[in-house]
Amino acid sequence: MSSPSSRSIQAFVFDAYGTLFDVHSVITLAETLAAGHGSALSRLWRTKQLEYTWLSSLMNPDGEARDDFAALTARALDYALASLGIDLGAGAHAQLCDAYLALSPFPDAAAALSGLAPRPRWILSNGTLAMLEPLVRRSGLGAHLDGVLSVDAAGIFKPSPRVYQLAVDALRLPPSQIGFVSSNCWDAIGARSFGFTTFWINRLGAPADRHGTPPDLIIDTLADLPSVAV
């Protein structure tokens, strides 16, 4: 395996949810609305949200009448609430979905992005542009980003190769010269299978998924990225 640096990475593409933005920053609100369940609710919500994206891509590969990430996120929340036996009204449900538009960025995200300049830095996410744009704006990360891509342009969710192709088309670079950064191991593996040079941000020291070729490089934190992706 050649090292990532020897492949001369010309641009970086970041996953959004869980990588630049902390999906579990909704726990504070969830705990306020459903005391004692905040953490479990957030974790089950995220798990189901991702499962629904995979189901959608398998059941509706052509993207016709496909529900977008906002719809799947709302339905995953419904499921998580029902599963935990939590009965919240429509207002609280809407409040939690709105919290997805104001997730906290990880504390090291801005410095990592700025440390990679002047190479282009983009987001490629399952989120809709209507979900991603407020996140980028409110977090201030927009100052360090050159563009945002939503899977909606491909009509399917990650890890479809059609999604990763969006970045190649936008950046006009060969896949190996694009550094793809994700804290979601399955996403990093999907991106590597497509041909990107991949960085898995493994904040929790989790084992790598046993499906597909492991990411090229595994680091603990976004802060390490500028020094390893030279």
Active site residues: 15
Are β-strands 121-125 and 147-150 bridged in parallel, bridged antiparallel, or unpaired?
parallel
Task: Report the distance separating Cα 89 and Cα 125, nearest Å.
Answer: 29
CB-nearer residue toward ligand LAC: 184 or 197? 184
Cβ count within 10 A of residue 67: 14
User: Which of helix, strand or coil describes residue 93?
Assistant: helix
CB of 162 to ligand LAC, least distance (A): 14
CB of 3 to ligand LAC, least distance (A): 26
Structure tokens at 210: 């046993």
Are β-strands 178-182 and 197-201 bridged in parallel, bridged antiparallel, or unpaired?
parallel
CB-nearer residue toward ligand LAC: 73 or 197? 73
Task: Report the distance separating Cα 152 and Cα 182, nearest Å.
Answer: 19
Alpha helices in 106-230 (DSSP H): 109-116, 129-139, 161-171, 185-194, 225-228
Residues that bind ligand LAC (CB under 6 A): 15-18, 125-127, 158, 184, 187
Give which of 131, 210, 216, 124 is closest to 161, Cα–Cα: 124
CB-nearer residue toward ligand LAC: 18 or 105? 18
CB of 59 to ligand LAC, least distance (A): 18
CB-nearer residue toward ligand LAC: 96 or 154? 154
CB of 189 to ligand LAC, least distance (A): 12
CB-nearer residue toward ligand LAC: 57 or 125? 125
CB of 25 to ligand LAC, least distance (A): 14
- Residue closest to ligand LAC when measured from CB atoms: 17
- The amino acid that residue 114 corresponds to is S
Using CB atoms within 10 A of its CB, is residue 2 exposed (0-12), middle (13-18) or buried (19+)?
exposed
Cβ count within 10 A of residue 143: 10
Structure tokens at 187: 């996403």
